[in-house]
Amino acid sequence: MKNELDEYRSRDGLSQGELADAVGVSRQTINAIERERYNPSLELAFKLAAQFDCAVEELFDPALDGSA
């Protein structure tokens, strides 16, 4: 799924590892989401949105995916 995770993470100056630690997953999981190879669970999507203080739909856009 298309997402803005990379942009939000860079904006806050976080590494993938730091973000992963903040939301309780592995760095590989954050990397997979950023590369659009893995769609996070709702729970993780909400955690990520809370981390960046934004709405889930600002972070993830299924409409841009082409498969939605």
Partner 1 sequence: MTATESPGTTRLSKRRTYRRLMYLAVFGGTGIGFLLRYLDYPVVGEAVYWVGIVAFIAVWKGSDVQLMDERDWALERRASLSALQIVGATMVVVASGSRLVTWLTDYTVPTLVWGALYGYIGLFIVFGLSYLWHRSRL
User: d(Cα 45, Cα 38) in Å, to the nearest integer?
Assistant: 12
Q: Which is nearer to partner 1, 6 or 21 (CB)?
A: 21
Q: What is the DSSP letter of 63?
A: G
Give the residue with the Cβ less far from partner 1, 17 or 62. 17
Rounded to the nearest whole angstrom, what is the least distance from the CB of residue 66 to partner 1 in the complex?
21
Binding site for partner 1 (CB under 8 A): 15, 17-18, 20-22, 24-29, 32, 38, 40-41, 43-44
The answer to whether the beta carbons of residues 2 and 60 sit under 8 Å apart is yes
